[in-house]
Amino acid sequence: MAGSTPASLTADTPAAAVVAPRKNRPTSPWQEAWRRFRRHRLAAASGIVLLLLIAVVALGPFIWPVPINEIDFAAKLQGPSWAHPLGTDDLGQDLLARLIYGGRISLAVGLAAMVVAVVVGVLVGALAGMSAGWVDAALMWVTDLFLALPLLPLLLLLMYLFRDHFKRLFGVEGGAFILIVVVIGGLRWMQVARLVRAQFLSLREKEFVEAARALGASKVRLVVGHILPNALGPVIVAGTIDVAAAIIAESTLSFLGLGFPSDIPTWGSVLRDAKDYLDIAPHWALFPGAAIFLAVITINFMGDGLRDALDPRRVL
Partner 1 sequence: MSNTDALLSVRDLRKHFAVKGGVLSRVIDKVHAVDGVSFDIGAGETLGLVGESGCGKSTTGRCILRLIEPSSGEIWFDGADVTKMDATALRSLRRDMQIIFQDPYASLNPRLTVGAIVGEALTIHNLAKSRRAHEERVVQLLETVGLQADHMRRFPHEFSGGQRQRIGIARALAVEPKLIVCDEPVSALDVSIQAQVINLLEDLQEQFGLTYLFIAHDLSVVEHISTRIAVMYLGRVVEIAPARDLYDTPLHPYSEALLSAVPIPDPTVKRQRIMLQGDVPNPINPPSGCHFHTRCPIAKPDCATRVPELRESRPGHWVSCHYRG
Partner 2 sequence: MAEPLLDIRGLKTWFKTDDGMVRAVDGVSLSIDRGETLGVVGESGCGKTVTARSVLKLIDMPPGRFEAGQILWQGRDLIPLDETEMNKIRAREIAIIFQEPMTSLNPVYTVGDQIAEVIELHQKLSRKQAMVGAADMLKLVNIPNPERRVHDYPHQFSGGMRQRVMIAMALSCQPKLLIADEPTTALDVTIQAQILELMQEMKERFGMAIMLITHAMGVVAETTQRVVVMYAGKVVEEAPVGALFGDPRHPYTQGLIRSIPRVDRSAGRQARLESIPGTVPSLLDPPPGCRFAARCRYVMPACTQAIPPLKEVAPGHKVACIL
Residues within the interface to partner 2 (CB under 8 A): 1-5, 8, 11-12, 14-16, 18, 21-22, 25, 39
Task: Using the minimum distance from each CB to partner 1, give the nearer residue, 1 or 74.
Answer: 1
- Partner from partner 1, partner 2, none contacting 3, C-beta within 5 to 8 A by type: partner 2
279 binds, among partner 1, partner 2, none (CB under 5 to 8 A by kind): none
Which lies closer to partner 2 via its Cβ, residue 7 or residue 157? 7
Euclidean distance between CA atoms 233 and 303, whole angstroms: 11
The conformational region for residue 72 under phi > 0 = left, psi -120 to 50 = alpha, else beta, is beta
Q: By C-beta, is 142 or 315 nearer to partner 1?
A: 315
Under DSSP, the state recorded for 74 is G
3-state SS string for 163-204: HHHHHHHHCHHHHHHHHHHHHHHHCCCHHHHHHHHHHHHHHC
Single out the residue of 215, 192, 196, 216 nearest to residue 204, CA to CA: 196
263 binding partner (options partner 2, partner 1, none; Cβ < 5 to 8 Å by kind): none
Closer residue to partner 2 (CB): 11 or 137: 11
Phi, psi of 72 (to 5 degrees): -145, 90
Q: What separation in angstroms does the CA of 69 have from each of 26, 195, 234, 272, 290?
A: 51, 44, 42, 17, 22
Residue 212 interacting partner from partner 2, partner 1, none (CB closer than 5 to 8 Å by kind): partner 1
Nearer to partner 2, 136 or 311 (CB): 311
Please report, as ranges, the residues that interact with partner 1 according to CB under 8 A.
5-6, 8-10, 12-13, 16-17, 19-20, 25, 27-30, 32, 206-218, 221, 225-226, 229-230, 315-316
Q: Which of partner 1, partner 2, none has residue 39 at its interface (CB below 5 to 8 Å by kind)?
A: partner 2
Looking at the Cβ atoms of 98 and 307, the one nearer to partner 1 is: 307
Q: Which does 28 bind (CB under 5 to 8 A by kind): partner 2, partner 1, none?
A: partner 1
d(CA 173, CA 170): 8
- Please give the DSSP secondary-structure letter assigned to residue 94: B
